[in-house]
Chain A
Amino acid sequence: MAQIIVEGLSKFFQVAERRPGLWGAVSGLLRRDHRSVAALQDVSFEINAGELVGYIGPNGAGKSTTIKILSGILVPTAGRCEVRGRVPWLERHQHVADIGVVFGQRSQLWWDLPVMESFDLLRDIYRVPASEYRDTRDQLIAEMSIEPLLATPVRQLSLGQRMRCDLVASLLHCPSILFLDEPTIGLDAVSRLALRHFIRRINRERGTTIILTTHDMDDIEALCERVIVIGRGTILSDGPLAGLREQLDPERRMKVELVNDERFDVEHARVISREGTMLQLSFDPRRITTPELIRRISESHEVRDLLVEYPPIEELIAKLYADSADSKPAVIEPSA
């Protein structure tokens, strides 16, 4: 049975409309006009234990609303939601004892305390038995190599260091589900890689279910086998990343650098952009295989360098959003 079940979930917010000007502000104190805004509309999905799912969408699409409902701190307007057999907001205390939540923007550690003190305080808050705590903690500290940081007050840590400590903090009570809300935001390339490596490892070795929201498509590409795309409160797509690619944009990209600045004309290869001898091509692998295209190009042109790549995932997502913007949301069958 699925670990997380979401069925027909909707959430409407009452938004107060303020009338402009001073008089508007004053009268707003007495009476406000309310407007109902849908943050989520009929959202359904299931997630199995041990999955690593990317949950992506533009700002305001309903990502954090979903995460908040799943973590028990927001009550939906309609629909069903069960996490490990519990309704999160009805049994909040029991529920949150079994999940970990990391916000990239906001640390859960105590600003003035050395990292280790924060960990110890969390042990007490989550009531982790002493021996179990010691094992988990030491293991996580070693895996994340934060040993040298333990005596440092959190306010003195760099963002990357803080993020690693935050991740460890969220795992001290061995949660079965981990929510990561933009964990790599603002990190440098090295920290980003280290963090991805760690996230993958937690998922594989501990079997922790991980739900990751991010704007960084490289995170998704590196980590997630399954991607749920949400836009305007509805699920636009749910399935493996490869499937999403095939359905939306089966084309591949090729960068070609020619030796000579000459006219380029090869069948099945469309020139997207060109700067002197540098060409960006697009082709459909169902019509021509990559080796065949390369052969044809090399036959007719002298090539200095050549690189085949996927179209950036941002473009896929943008396309998905554009499709959904046409009044009624485009439903894309999960190709799993």
Chain B
Amino acid sequence: MDSTRSPEGARGGFAENVALYGRYISISIMSQMQYKLSFLLAVVSQLLVTSLGVLGIWVMFSRFGSLGGWGLHEVLVFYGLVNVAFAIADALATGFDRFGSEYIRQGGFDRLLLRPRSVSLQLLGHELALRRLGGFTQGLIVLTWGLGHLDVPFDPATLLFTLYIIGCAVCLFLAIFILQATLSFWTVESIELMNTMTYGGVEASQYPMSIYEPWFRHFFTFVVPLACVTYFPVLVLLGRDDPVGTSRWFQMLCPLAGPIFLMVSIQVFERLGVRYYTSTGS
């Protein structure tokens, strides 16, 4: 009675997966709206907490005037952009973020494997964390504030390029969350190490990379390509030359490292991770 159903294979078409994701998300929003007060409190508190970071930057600049040749508003652009992208990725990746604790430790991953859909899709559908709206709003305000005080033309090209950077950065952050989740197949204990990567990476890329030591910069360019989705393309946006001396072409194309990193991480998760899990069962 069932063999005729979806003969093209269980993975299904792209449109079908998007439709299912949409359904997951609408359900997730519905569930979160059952706790309206806690949702509002989470948004407001996140807004306040992240705003403290901006306050820190502002204090630093009012004291020292500039940071390695960068002005306050330029740094605000880096800061705002990274925070917008991270808030989006963070909101999308709840399922991966809690993978070790909720799916591996408590055994919920079995259930995902028992359903004829990609586990990545199901994990993305775990939740769209609306409480990240706080960080997102704060980042967006800081970003527009920074851009508004700089000599950056407000036109469709700027807007499109900004969206391109944000999109690529979201991909990269998602990839890091997914790699972190992949690690929990093997150990649930080394998560702290990965947190250095996500949260530490976010902290580091809130500032222009040229202020850091070369080894640090190289790590975030070639190993975890955070600089590729923040620092280099923002140089293009701000119309500044790189003190380190990269070309414009490189700066414009390197954000694609984000989507590439994401595709690789999904493959690693779904192939290596799942294969390991199904051979150990725990």
Q: Is the pairing of A and B real?
A: yes
Within 8 A of B (CB), among A24-67: 65
Residues in A lying within 8 Å of B, measured CB to CB: 13-14, 65, 68, 71-75, 89, 92-94, 96-99, 101, 106, 108, 110, 112-113, 117, 121, 124-129, 153, 173-176
Given A97-B5, A110-B27, A121-B23, verify A72-B280 contact (CB < 8 Å): no
* B20 on the A face (CB < 8 A): yes
- Roughly how many angstroms separate A97 CA and B12 CA in the complex, as a whole number? 12
* B6 on the A face (CB < 8 A): yes
- Roughly how many angstroms separate A124 CA and B16 CA in the complex, as a whole number? 9
Other-chain residue from A68, A72, A97, A113 in contact with B6 (beta carbon distance below 8 A): A97
Q: Which residue of A lies closest to B115 (CB)?
A: A125
A124 neighbours in B (Cβ, 8 Å): 19-20, 23
A135 to chain B, nearest CB (A): 12
A13 neighbours in B (Cβ, 8 Å): 280-281
B11 neighbours in A (Cβ, 8 Å): 93
Q: Which residue of A lies closest to B106 (CB)?
A: A106
Interface footprint category on B: 20 to 34
Contact assessment for B23 and A176 in the assembled complex, using a CB-CB cutoff below 8 Å? no
B277 to chain A, nearest CB (A): 8
Contact assessment for B9 and A93 in the assembled complex, using a CB-CB cutoff below 8 Å? yes
Contact assessment for B281 and A96 in the assembled complex, using a CB-CB cutoff below 8 Å? no
Contact assessment for B2 and A173 in the assembled complex, using a CB-CB cutoff below 8 Å? yes
Q: Which residue of B lies closest to A126 (CB)?
A: B116
Q: What does the 1/0 interface line of B1-13 toward A look like (CB < 8 Å)?
A: 1110110011110
Within 8 A of A (CB), among B176-191: none
- Roughly how many angstroms separate A256 CA and B16 CA in the complex, as a whole number? 67
- Roughly how many angstroms separate A110 CA and B23 CA in the complex, as a whole number? 13
Residues in B lying within 8 Å of A, measured CB to CB: 1-3, 5-6, 9-12, 16, 19-20, 23-24, 27, 30-31, 34, 107-108, 110-111, 113-117, 278-281
Q: Which 10 A-B pairs have the closest CB atoms?
A: A93-B10, A112-B31, A97-B116, A73-B113, A74-B281, A93-B116, A75-B278, A75-B279, A96-B116, A96-B114
- Roughly how many angstroms separate A65 CA and B279 CA in the complex, as a whole number? 11
B12 neighbours in A (Cβ, 8 Å): 127
Contact assessment for A73 and B2 in the assembled complex, using a CB-CB cutoff below 8 Å? no
A75 neighbours in B (Cβ, 8 Å): 278-279
Given A75-B279, A106-B107, verify A101-B114 contact (CB < 8 Å): yes
Q: Which residue of A lies closest to B11 (CB)?
A: A93
B154 to chain A, nearest CB (A): 42
Given A65-B281, A71-B114, A108-B111, verify A94-B9 contact (CB < 8 Å): yes
Other-chain residue from B2, B23, B30, B279 in contact with A97 (beta carbon distance below 8 A): B2
B281 to chain A, nearest CB (A): 5
A125 neighbours in B (Cβ, 8 Å): 20, 115-117
Determine which residue in A68, A97, A101 has the highest number of CB atoms from chain B within 10 A of its CB, and name it: A97
Given A112-B34, A126-B116, A127-B12, verify A68-B281 contact (CB < 8 Å): yes
B255 to chain A, nearest CB (A): 33
Contact assessment for B110 and A68 in the assembled complex, using a CB-CB cutoff below 8 Å? yes
- Roughly how many angstroms separate A72 CA and B279 CA in the complex, as a whole number? 11
Given A127-B6, A129-B5, verify A106-B111 contact (CB < 8 Å): yes
Given A68-B110, A97-B116, verify A73-B278 contact (CB < 8 Å): yes
- Roughly how many angstroms separate A101 CA and B110 CA in the complex, as a whole number? 10
B147 to chain A, nearest CB (A): 39
**Given A94-B9, A98-B2, A112-B34, 9 additional A-B pairs, CB 8 A:** A73-B278, A89-B278, A96-B115, A101-B114, A106-B107, A125-B20, A127-B6, A127-B12, A129-B5
Contact assessment for A174 and B27 in the assembled complex, using a CB-CB cutoff below 8 Å? no
A332 to chain B, nearest CB (A): 28
Q: Which residue of B lies closest to A105 (CB)?
A: B107
B279 neighbours in A (Cβ, 8 Å): 74-75
Other-chain residue from A89, A96, A127 in contact with B5 (beta carbon distance below 8 A): A127
A113 neighbours in B (Cβ, 8 Å): 27, 30-31
Q: Which residue of B lies closest to A176 (CB)?
A: B2
B62 to chain A, nearest CB (A): 46
Q: Which residue of B lies closest to A11 (CB)?
A: B281
- Roughly how many angstroms separate A110 CA and B281 CA in the complex, as a whole number? 23
